[in-house]
Chain A
Amino acid sequence: MDVMPKWAEVILVPLISLLLAAALSALVILAIGEDPVAAVKMMVTGALGSTYGWGYTLYYATNFMFTGLAVAIAFHARLFNIGGEGQAMLGGLGVALACLYIPWPHWSLALIGAAVMAGLFGAVWAAIPAWLQAKRGSHIVITTIMFNFIAAALLNYVLVNLLRPRGQMDPATARFPEATNLPTLHELLAPLGIEFSKSAPANVSFLVAVAACFVLWVLIWRTRLGYEIRAYGHSESAAKYAGISPVRITMIAMIISGALAGMMAINNVMGEAERLVLNSTEGAGFIGIAVALMGRSHPLGVFFSAILFGFLYQGGAELALWTSIPRELIVVIQALVILFTGALDNMVRMPLERFFLMVRTPPKPERKPVEPAE
């Protein structure tokens, strides 16, 4: 029975969760002897006060959009893909191979090629746990966690033993050729007469991420595949009845999810580092969980919460630079957001439902709810 109006469900619940997380974070800042108001001001100036700040905010947001969408599409099929991190690592490997071994004539072609490779590698890395879940009943949360560690070990091996140029000490690939370097927002906006910071890493991948949000929205809410994925997510038994194959949906949803997580690599590996280093993902795969939860698995919600987390990351970096607050503050905030929007959802929801029950008008007589008991 719907007790709450739709707007409360979509806006109010996440908003209150976010406020709770923010309030607790402020307490944490107070507890370590810093001023939360000053901290927020510094974060806003640092992340949004200049095109340099925006450039970093949007760069991080691009990563989070990809990983957030990845978690979101899996959520729609009631699959918890906790393996975005590993899939993004593999995506990085795909990008590296595409950029290092194929002589691209122009960045645009390189972008397409690298995106395909990144998606492919990420998809394969997600497809194995998906297959194990669909065919062997192995819990996908556990297998994707395991695959994160396996991916890290694999990447470590590949970088140290195979891709590292002779004589180089740190485990990383060589620099990608010039032709694969993606235009930054500075280069893209200059022809339009907009002055954008030269040194910020935000690049054309941001536009790809925004496009991915739109495409995923269409996929989930307007196509038969999306209809089937959502149906399966709501009720597996009903999906079977309707002739929607659980195996097929599990595979497809996870392949899309893995491909999205993998495609993050066009931003951080191809767009920013321009070579593949160890730990290039920097936990973005996990932040995708927070982003998807806060965005209620809706692509528009994911878009906004990715920007919010981009802001937090850039703001947090500024804080670490100018105050004694370490960057780990952001990890705490991220944890609180996951906690309140995900695990403690009912804590926010139950009092709200009680409130709406009190103020709502009595139900129309014909709108008979589901019978209780029996």
Chain B
Amino acid sequence: MTANDSRGQPETAAPAIELKGISKAFGPVQANKDISIRVMPGTIHGIIGENGAGKSTLMSILYGFYKADAGEIFIAGRKANITDSQAAIAAGIGMVFQHFKLVENFTVLENIILGAEDGWKLRPSLNKARKSLVELAKDYGLNVEPDALVQDIGVGMQQRVEILKALYRQADILILDEPTGVLTPAEADQLFRILGRLRSEGKTIILITHKLREIMEITDTVSVMRRGEMTATVQTAETSPAELAELMVGRKVLLRVDKTPATPGEVVLDVKNLKVVDDKGVERLRGINLNVRAGEVLGIAGVAGNGQSELLEVLGGYQDGTGEVRVNGQLIDLTGKKSDGQSRRARGIAHVPEDRQREGLIMEYQAWENTAFGYHRDPAYKSGILMDNAAIRADTAEKMERFDVRPPNPRLEAKNFSGGNQQKLVLAREIERNPDLLLIGQPTRGVDIGAIEFIHQQIVALRDQGKAILLVSVELEEILALSDRIAVMFDGKIMGERLPDQTDEKELGLLMAGITDTDRDHSVEEVEANLAHAGGDTSKEV
């Protein structure tokens, strides 16, 4: 398909990037299937798709991180043989990875010159980089503190260092992989302004994301990926979010969850002045007050890293805290021997953790062993001094059937299930325990669309049984769809509570950036300063 470029480039210009028939398999998994794509110079090209659609793999191939099994790459009309990152850099490609590739205890300057030094002596390279950093800052508005250690600056700043790294290497093509995952909405806007400026300077940008809003807001063209295949490439101006969503998942999406209004009962979870200080002495929770009633879902919105994880951890019993936490009116210990996952479960608290692969499951354990995980001291699973493995297996088979876990084989290791089925395994274990309070973090992260609906239905069903649910998610849509009340967290504090039908993404976004109603007329500078803080920024913004 010919890109009718919206930015007035002549149609005959060679594409900045052209991929032809790219395929890549990881073992038995086909991550990319015969993918072709053209990106015109001076445009922002979006690539959108669900988690696992193969977007990152495709871009890693373009950056020489993986070798494609088949296919060709053309840069500015010439066939390029990109065998490694070095070749990609030489071809003028720069990449900002989702997880930054920075050396934490190096300075910003050292990170920028790493791999792009001039000569074997370090001094001249550093001096040269310092000079050109000043110019880059002037040209693109990318200010950084060159001598700050990367570990001391916030994520927003670190991302800026990554962009500078690419520009310092004279990249004409910039690939950004899910750049807004760790940013607040307004911080993301700031990033988009920078990208806009880069485009006007003639740079070509590829933006990988799974967020429709970003695609609509900034891209010129957009390609949609599904299950390793490129399903369409369209002009952004000629499409709609609904059309893109359909292309992404292959059928109409149910954006809202069917549910009746909540009928809240007694307070189940009552949290007063809850504080958490981490190993480094940083206060992660700074006096949280909240409560969750029976039969309601309290959604916690916020940018990742503002204390939501610590809140779940301290309530789940594996992070020490101070303050008062009551469950069904009874005080629970927040430190010491009686504060661990086991004693929380005994109090009727079940927990579906944010990261099922790191916390919720033992990937090398079989499904039945995972079903006992955390409940392995349950007397029902005991026979004499030994574990009653047969009983656990029988129990697992039942749970797998009720939660439609496929394949329903209790002896399959957890790593061999898909993301959605792994999550169902965790849900089955926690929900079937009939808890009074369910803590649930990022319930649908990395889960396919069919499983998302199922999981959302289970959460609502549990609420309707009169259970209290504390939901943490960084997906605002999910929070809005599931919650009966929404609390917004920022910098370890609750910024405010809203009712889902009396608020919108914009208001929540402001709260997520630490701006409350009362100070709405603050200047742009103050908002931005606050945002830098939301990313945990401690360095001075120049």
Q: Which residues of A contact B (CB under 8 A)?
A: 1-3, 218, 222-224, 227-228, 230-231, 234-235, 237-238, 240-245, 357, 362-364, 366-374
Distance, CA A242 to CA B369, complexed state (A): 13
Given contacts A243-B344, A373-B55, contact A366 B407 (CB under 8 A): yes
Determine if B358 and A367 form an interchain contact, defined as CB atoms under 8 angstroms apart: no
Given contacts A1-B27, A240-B341, A241-B316, contact A371 B418 (CB under 8 A): yes
Within B46-62, which residues are at the interface with A (CB < 8 Å)? 51-57, 60
Chain A residues with CB below 8 A from B407, complex form: 364, 366-367
Determine if B387 and A224 form an interchain contact, defined as CB atoms under 8 angstroms apart: yes
Q: Say yes or no for B361: interface residue by CB 8 A criterion.
A: yes
Complex partner residue of B340 from A222, A245, A363, CB under 8 angstroms: A245
Determine if A241 and B56 form an interchain contact, defined as CB atoms under 8 angstroms apart: no
Determine if B341 and A357 form an interchain contact, defined as CB atoms under 8 angstroms apart: no
Q: Say yes or no for B106: interface residue by CB 8 A criterion.
A: no
**Which residue of B is nearest A237, CB measured?**
B358
Distance, CA A373 to CA B52, complexed state (A): 6
Given contacts A362-B28, A371-B51, A372-B57, contact A2 B413 (CB under 8 A): yes
Chain A residues with CB below 8 A from B98, complex form: 374
**Which residue of A is nearest B421, CB measured?**
A368
Distance, CA A250 to CA B429, complexed state (A): 27
Q: Say yes or no for B345: interface residue by CB 8 A criterion.
A: yes
| Shortest Cβ gap from B223 to chain A (Å) | 16
Complex partner residue of A369 from B29, B54, B355, B387, CB under 8 angstroms: B29
Determine if A243 and B341 form an interchain contact, defined as CB atoms under 8 angstroms apart: yes
Complex partner residue of B374 from A3, A235, A241, A357, CB under 8 angstroms: A241
Interface string of B336-354 (1 = CB under 8 A from A): 0000111111000001010
Distance, CA A227 to CA B370, complexed state (A): 11
Complex partner residue of A238 from B57, B362, B385, B418, CB under 8 angstroms: B362
Distance, CA A234 to CA B415, complexed state (A): 12
Distance, CA A369 to CA B422, complexed state (A): 11
Chain A residues with CB below 8 A from B53, complex form: 374
Q: List 27 A-B contacts (CB under 8 A).
A: A1-B27, A1-B28, A2-B416, A222-B389, A224-B377, A224-B382, A227-B369, A234-B364, A234-B365, A235-B358, A238-B358, A240-B359, A241-B316, A243-B318, A243-B342, A243-B343, A243-B374, A357-B28, A362-B28, A363-B28, A364-B407, A367-B416, A369-B27, A369-B28, A373-B57, A374-B51, A374-B53
Chain A binding surface SS class: loop
Q: A3-B27, A234-B362 are in contact. List 9 more A-B contacts (CB 8 A).
A: A1-B415, A231-B373, A235-B358, A238-B358, A243-B341, A243-B343, A367-B407, A367-B416, A373-B60
Chain A residues with CB below 8 A from B51, complex form: 371, 374
Distance, CA A292 to CA B374, complexed state (A): 29
Within B24-43, which residues are at the interface with A (CB < 8 Å)? 26-29, 31
Q: Say yes or no for B126: interface residue by CB 8 A criterion.
A: no
Distance, CA A187 to CA B127, complexed state (A): 83
Given contacts A222-B387, A234-B364, A370-B415, contact A228 B376 (CB under 8 A): yes
Chain B residues with CB below 8 A from A234, complex form: 362-365
Determine if B385 and A223 form an interchain contact, defined as CB atoms under 8 angstroms apart: yes
Q: Say yes or no for B317: interface residue by CB 8 A criterion.
A: yes
| Shortest Cβ gap from B261 to chain A (Å) | 33
Complex partner residue of B418 from A231, A368, A374, CB under 8 angstroms: A368
Chain B residues with CB below 8 A from A242, complex form: 341-342, 373-374, 376
**Which residue of A is nearest B208, CB measured?**
A374
Distance, CA A311 to CA B358, complexed state (A): 43
**Which residue of A is nearest B353, CB measured?**
A241
Determine if B359 and A237 form an interchain contact, defined as CB atoms under 8 angstroms apart: yes
**Which residue of A is nearest B386, CB measured?**
A222
Determine if B318 and A373 form an interchain contact, defined as CB atoms under 8 angstroms apart: no
| Shortest Cβ gap from A125 to chain B (Å) | 27
